[in-house]
Amino acid sequence: MPYGYNGQILRVDLSKNTLKIENPPESFYRRYFGGRAMIAYYLLKELKPGIDPLGPENLLVFIGGIATGTPVLGTARSAVGAKSPLTGGFGESQAGGFWGKELIRAGFDGIIVKGRAKSPVYLWVYDGEFEVRDAAHIWGLDTADSQELIRKDLGDKLVRVAQIGRGGENKVRYASIANDVRHFYGRTGMGAVMGSKNLKAIATRGNEGPPMADLDTLSEINRRFSDDFQSRLDQGFIGLFPKYGTSYKMEDHWKNGNLSIRNFRDYDDSSMKIFSSITIMETVGVRMEGCYGCAIHCKKVVQVEEPWKVDPVYGGPEYESTGSLGTNCGIDDVKAICKANELCQRYTLDTISTGVTIGFAMECFENGLLTKKDTGGIDLSFGNAEAMVQMVEMIAGREGLGDLLAEGTKRAAEKIGGRAKKFAIHVKGMEVPMHDPRLQRGLALGFSVNPAGPDHMNTLHDSIEQLKSGKRDFPFFGVFEPIPIEDVGPRKVRLFVYVNNWEALKNCLLTCGFVPLGEEQILEMVRAATGWYTSIWELMKVGERSVNMARAFNIREGFTRKDDWLPDRFFHPKTSGPLSKRSLNATELEEMKSTYYGMMNWDQEKGTPTRPKLEELDIAWVADELKLK
């Protein structure tokens, strides 16, 4: 009997209306762990190059990880992957909440969906059983209403639901998937893939998780962390997260120029206090909530009565949402941001891509590339809160200009033409999150080379602890001498390689980046869950393996070195403020890329992983997929 996982993957073919179970061997779980690596495995193995991401051939992979079945806090995450309709490359997204744990408790480590149902359906997975059910009565409903009806259908208020709203149904290319209404698989358009399959939701319910090799040790890890957490409530982010969520550093990011203002162009500190985490919670905050079994409770719940009504069932905006829908659009109205965030939750739209795409449209409007004739009479100027909220509605419904903006900034800019491409802030077609690479050199490299596009969660944030001292070291990775924040040489790249591979491991394990489980704790957890005599070295190799597999998928889809690049805007300073004399240097970034490719043992022309590297990672089959010599 396996420990730490169920040993069962559910296969669903919606075109043929068939469901079956496959049982991968233990070696499969030990080689890939879950999350990103398993997603990349199935996409590489089963998708033909060049398929339409919104066609029935695409796979939609829901997957847990080795950590997901454990009782350890910070392990409530699960992942969804497919070929991305936004980038045309590797698509992966993760979310916390409760749904992932429930899937594991229902007896499955993952669900792989292909095909397209003839009419709307939802999947019901419970205690090792499964069935496809009609969803005609819930298609078109907002997520809270849909979840309520599904639970009523199934006669169980504790059913957990992963679903799409209007954005996914209308195949907005950056549509997300919601679980329990307020936890989101965002960024890469997984909701659009789900909508393309006429799959409204997957409901799960289970009563028993997989057996653990050493449950006592796992309980002890929880106890030690809980004691440590309680003792550090007045220290740094440990104490601030439960009070204010991820926006606790909003003012700091604003002051140092990291936060986007008016499409990453400007700086303005006039409304800084309005967006402080304290102000938001004091004016519209209701409470803080969290994911399954987590003591941190980093998720806001807000309520607004006028001029817009914001239902607290949809949670509230965190740092990325507040920035993208707020400052990035020149909006200083917290209530408008809460309403726009609520609409994104209702309709399952990624808040980052939604806000950055609207900011792009605002700059096009400012420069005469879009007019009121294009907007349907809407004054789409920076700072117009009502216009911003209205545009979210239009994007979700693909109405008027919203139909074009639902395609994302890259495609919209190509359609508008002229200077519009200069205003499209994306990498590989995915919009840039609220962290400015002009400030962080390691982040600039990370945004450039990440296979899914600019990912702020799985990269090196080299400014977090350096802004005061200017230096930071990482003794765990063998980096003993502090590396200055301005460094763009091999030392910085080496650090990025190690941090990126470790963060990739966490993407495979599916542990939360906001729960400070140490490296030794993670190793102890994996051993106690699985009974494997593993090591930090093996764990690092799992992460590195997943990075190479995701890269290989993009190479097979035609991506090259040229796609590992940043928007032109970041090679010029901001108009004012802390970054008014600071920008990226194109030559330096190219040199960092070359060094990174070399350290990863990738070729310099395209960044293709070499056969020896793939052989060393025990995935020679990937080299065969790429037809490498």
Judged by phi (left if over 0) then psi (alpha if -120 to 50, else beta), residue 373 lies in alpha
Co-location of 402 and 445 in the same domain: no
Grade residue 394 by pLDDT with cuts at 50, 70 and 90: very high
pLDDT digits (tens, 9 = 90+) for 336-392: 999 999 999 999 999 999 999 999 999 999 999 999 999 999 999 999 999 999 999
- Bridge partners of 126, per DSSP, are 129, 205
In the three-class reduction of DSSP (H, G, I as helix; E, B as strand; rest coil), residue 21 is classed as strand
Low-confidence winner among 82-91, 202-211, 461-470, 537-546 (lowest mean pLDDT): 461-470
Residues in the chain: 629
Q: Is residue 219 part of a domain?
A: no
pLDDT of 1 reads: 64
What would the mean pLDDT of 538-560 be, rounded to a whole number?
Answer: 97
Query: In CATH, what number is assigned to the domain containing residue 141?
Result: 3.60.9.10
Low-confidence winner among 8-22, 35-49, 140-154, 233-247 (lowest mean pLDDT): 233-247
Co-location of 425 and 448 in the same domain: no
Amino acid at 121: V
130, containing H or E segment: strand 129-134
Q: Which two tokens stand for residue 601?
A: 């043992």
pLDDT digits (tens, 9 = 90+) for 81-128: 999 999 999 999 999 999 999 999 999 999 999 999 999 999 999 999
The count of domains in the chain is 3
Q: Is residue 212 part of a domain?
A: no
How many beta carbons lie within 10 A of that of residue 490, not counting itself? Answer: 14
pLDDT over 50 (residue 468): no
What would the mean pLDDT of 173-184 be, rounded to a whole number?
Answer: 96
Query: In CATH, what number is assigned to the domain containing residue 344?
Result: 1.10.569.10
Low-confidence winner among 265-279, 311-325, 613-627 (lowest mean pLDDT): 265-279
Q: Which spans in 70-130 are helix H?
A: 99-105
Co-location of 384 and 491 in the same domain: no
Q: Are 507 and 546 in contact (CB under 8 A)?
A: yes
CA-to-CA distance for 468 and 458, rounded, in angstroms?
23
Q: pLDDT > 90: what percent of the chain? A: 81
Co-location of 60 and 166 in the same domain: yes
Q: Is residue 232 part of a domain?
A: no
Co-location of 405 and 475 in the same domain: no
Q: Is residue 576 part of a domain?
A: yes
- Measure the N-to-C terminal CA separation of the chain; round to a whole number of Å: 39
pLDDT over 80 (residue 275): no
Q: Are 80 and 192 in contact (CB under 8 A)?
A: no
pLDDT of 615 reads: 98
Q: Is residue 263 part of a domain?
A: yes
pLDDT over 50 (residue 628): yes
Q: Is residue 226 part of a domain?
A: no
In the three-class reduction of DSSP (H, G, I as helix; E, B as strand; rest coil), residue 532 is classed as coil
pLDDT over 90 (residue 471): no
Which string of DSSP letters, residue by residue, matches 152-186?
Answer: HHHT-TT-EEEE--HHHHTT-TTB-EEETTTEEE-
Of the candidates 413, 431, 449, which is a domain's last residue?
A: 431
pLDDT digits (tens, 9 = 90+) for 142-167: 999 999 999 999 999 999 999 999 99
How many beta carbons lie within 10 A of that of residue 476, not counting itself? Answer: 13
Grade residue 274 by pLDDT with cuts at 50, 70 and 90: confident
pLDDT of 400 reads: 98
pLDDT digits (tens, 9 = 90+) for 426-447: 999 999 999 999 998 899 999 9
pLDDT of 44 reads: 98
In the three-class reduction of DSSP (H, G, I as helix; E, B as strand; rest coil), residue 428 is classed as coil
pLDDT over 90 (residue 511): yes
Grade residue 467 by pLDDT with cuts at 50, 70 and 90: very low
pLDDT over 80 (residue 241): no
What would the mean pLDDT of 181-187 be, rounded to a whole number?
Answer: 96
Distances (CA, A) of 616 to 27, 382, 605: 16, 52, 21
Co-location of 270 and 332 in the same domain: yes
Residue 20: exposure state from Cβ atoms within 10 A (0-12, 13-18, ≥19): exposed
Co-location of 124 and 145 in the same domain: yes
pLDDT digits (tens, 9 = 90+) for 283-317: 999 998 989 888 788 889 999 999 999 999 999 99
pLDDT of 227 reads: 74
Co-location of 86 and 189 in the same domain: yes
Co-location of 427 and 448 in the same domain: no
User: Which pTM was predicted?
Assistant: 0.96
CA-to-CA distance for 52 and 382, rounded, in angstroms?
35
Provide the residue range defining the domain that includes 19: 9-205
Of the candidates 190, 205, 220, which is a domain's last residue?
A: 205
Co-location of 381 and 463 in the same domain: no
Q: Is residue 234 part of a domain?
A: no
Co-location of 183 and 303 in the same domain: no
pLDDT of 230 reads: 64
Q: Is residue 561 part of a domain?
A: yes
DSSP 310: B
Grade residue 449 by pLDDT with cuts at 50, 70 and 90: very high
DSSP 579: T
Q: What is the mean pLDDT of the chain?
A: 93
Spatial CA neighbour of 106 closest among 30, 206, 173: 206
Co-location of 180 and 244 in the same domain: no
Give every CB contact of residue 187 below 8 A, 6+ residues apart in sequence: 93, 174, 176, 350, 352, 353, 430, 452, 453, 455
pLDDT over 60 (residue 14): yes
Of the candidates 431, 450, 479, which is a domain's last residue?
A: 431
